[in-house]
Structure 1
């Protein structure tokens, strides 16, 4: 399996504090059936500022240590970029701007504040797409404004974004309300990726296998394959198809049509 969002790099955000903890988290990923991760430390966050150069160096070191420790995991570079006013300018500055896409692809992981959708987010998403970047919204189910009005997420997707749900949300770790919102977003075809957002081997561990098992039970093997395939397509920098809507949703019939004739990006 491929995990596109996690905090496995040590000492730079709220993930592992040191190399020992980072390698322990890597072993946890392998035990969960994961072979490849894209490391996405927080960037442009109130507490964390992790520009590209430092991340690339840590990823190189991490892969070297994984080989020495005989841990069969490959780490790619990325960031979880908090929405901010200078985001577009930073991207246009290239290396000086300090931004990374996911594994050097056209896909960029962006994070909204937990309580709101900042004014101008739809415009930002659209402007990024004009520059050839496809933004992926991290854990929309944990944003209070999106949870209260799922139509806001649909509008962001219509502007060109994709969305990634957190595995922990699907299995109830963040509470019943977040769990319910996560499943609603999945069933309405508003989720395109499942990722761990792992931070710690016991508190916020890799649990993709558990999440995919839950998805298979509630939505079927085809949906599991859809999410897994999208992670591979992202890594290959290939177009992603829009999400199928579950037949359990009110517009399930239309969802099955979209599944057959879905538009790629």
Structure 2
């Protein structure tokens, strides 16, 4: 709990007032059942209040795509980003985009659920075929970009790809994706400062508003988007 409270203080110092807590679920390594996440989030909120840390936490999950997902939803073992069960934080495997992804997205949307695809910039399949991300958004999905990716923590290639995703209008919200106090900490202020420098203050406001609307289960404002542009190539000969 001491480490969690220390991270909470860093979050507040980064200008963060609300956090959607999203432990991994059903990814083959971690299973964090809905009831357990709700209980532990309530315990953490109580500890925050006792420590007088001005931070509100909401229970959530980062749900791995799996053939068992729809059954888990029916079994009431899945948490959404909002209380109306509209927005689902959906994680793809890092190595690829599974062949059944479009079918799963269709089934989720048929159930009134909007998938929010998390950290697409680090998915190897999307890196190789960025048009997949365009197709997901065109079908009604949203995306959540990791602030650390945008700031180069995962390397310059991921940083560049993240910027191109944002430039294409295919990045809807930032996530801290904070795991600890060292390597993967809160970097939201730096990410928004860079975003304002590269894409303007309106983009910052739009992404911040999107985050609030997802948490509240509201509609997002329509926006323009296009295919991710290819990386610029430099050479001695043209």
User: Normalising by structure 1, what TM-score?
Assistant: 0.83
| CA displacement at 1:200 relative to structure 2 | 0.6
| Correspondence 1:162 to 2:165 | no
Consecutive unaligned residues in structure 1, runs of 5 or more: 1-18, 251-265
Asked whether the equivalents of residues 150 and 162 of structure 2 are also in contact (C-alpha less than 8 Å), the reply is yes
Asked whether the equivalents of residues 190 and 243 of structure 1 are also in contact (C-alpha less than 8 Å), the reply is no
Consecutive unaligned residues in structure 2, runs of 5 or more: 231-238
> Which of 61, 66, 79 is the aligned partner of 1:100?
79
Segments of 4+ in structure 1 off by > 2 A?
Answer: 241-246
Change (3 A) 1:160 1:126: farther
- Number of residue-to-residue matches in the alignment: 228
Q: Which residue of structure 2 aligns with residue 43 of structure 1?
A: 25
Q: Distance in 2 between matches of 1:131 and 1:119?
A: 20
| CA displacement at 1:102 relative to structure 2 | 1.1
SS in 1 for 2:149: helix
Change (3 A) 1:244 1:34: farther
Q: Distance in 2 between matches of 1:103 and 1:75?
A: 12
SS in 1 for 2:90: strand
Q: Which residue of structure 2 aligns with residue 126 of structure 1?
A: 106
Q: Which residue of structure 2 aligns with residue 89 of structure 1?
A: 71
Q: Which residue of structure 2 aligns with residue 253 of structure 1?
A: none
> Which of 33, 54, 58 is the aligned partner of 2:40?
58
SS in 2 for 1:101: coil
| CA displacement at 1:149 relative to structure 2 | 1.1
Change (3 A) 1:150 1:243: farther
Q: Which residue of structure 2 aligns with residue 257 of structure 1?
A: none
Q: Which residue of structure 1 aligns with residue 124 of structure 2?
A: 144
| CA displacement at 1:160 relative to structure 2 | 1.9
Asked whether the equivalents of residues 186 and 245 of structure 1 are also in contact (C-alpha less than 8 Å), the reply is no
Q: Distance in 1 between matches of 2:91 and 2:65?
A: 6
| CA displacement at 1:243 relative to structure 2 | 4.0
| Correspondence 1:207 to 2:187 | yes
Larger deviation: 47-56 or 158-167? 158-167
